[in-house]
Amino acid sequence: MTTRTRDLMARFFPSRVDEEELIEALRAHAGLMISAAARVLGDVAEAEDVAQDIAEKLLRKRPAEVRSWPALLKKMAVNRAIDRLRRRRDPSQLPVDLTQPEEPDEQLVQRQRAEALRNAVAALSERDAKLFSLQCFADLDQAEIGRELGMSANAVGVALHRLRKRLSEDLNRLLDAAPQITGETQ
């Protein structure tokens, strides 16, 4: 085989990551995958299932080249978790981390707010859901989100600003429509 043929073969048919390297990366970054998925899903057991799905997928079809295992595995975990949320299509299943207040009326108000947030997030487009998840659940900055979604950091900033504004308006609208708790007894 000539050098030119070898170069063309390497270009069009890259060698795959060997299985040992893949297994080592999966073991080393399992916690990262689980925590990223758990932040999106709000359920550690389901996040572990996501990590298992990713491991199975990568073992079936190993990637050709990986520049950063943590970045790849975290991105796959967040995306797979978002896919699971979308399959649910039940807004009440979205995670919301709220501390329980002492007063029963305040608990009801917080449940109303949590339900409104679930409904607003469930109604997001796929791109907006990814933006929201990558910022709020994966703790990525605008430049990292841009690299993940193929956008400039500036475009991410503008999109996130618009998304927050729209979510705020949707939440206010949903909360205004909900029955209000006054705390007064009759």
d(CA 130, CA 42): 16
Question: If we measure between CA atoms, which residue out of 138, 155, 153, 154 comes closest to residue 75?
Answer: 138
d(CA 135, CA 169): 19
CA 124, 134, 40, 46 torsion: positive or negative?
A: positive
Torsion of CA 118, 122, 127, 129, to 10 degrees: 30
Q: Give the model's pLDDT for residue 182.
A: 47
Q: What are the structure tokens assigned to 162, written together?
A: 């618009």
Task: Summarize pLDDT for 119-160 with one digit per residue, the tens.
Answer: 777 788 888 888 888 887 777 788 888 888 889 989 999 999
CB-facing half-sphere around the CA of 93: CA atoms within 13 A: 13
Q: What are the structure tokens assigned to 102, written together?
A: 């002492």
d(CA 111, CA 121): 15
Q: Give the model's pLDDT for residue 155.
A: 93
Q: Give the model's pLDDT for residue 34.
A: 94
Q: What are the structure tokens assigned to 150, written together?
A: 């193929």
Can you give the C-alpha Rg of the chain in angstroms?
Answer: 21
Q: Give the model's pLDDT for residue 53.
A: 92
Contact 36, 78 (CB under 8 A): yes
pTM metric for this prediction: 0.48
The pLDDT averaged over each successive group of 10 residues in the chain (186 residues) is: 69 69 91 90 90 90 83 89 74 50 72 77 83 79 86 92 88 72 45
Q: Give the model's pLDDT for residue 173.
A: 80
**Can you list the domains of the chain with their CATH numbers?**
14-88 (1.10.1740), 96-186 (1.10.10.10)
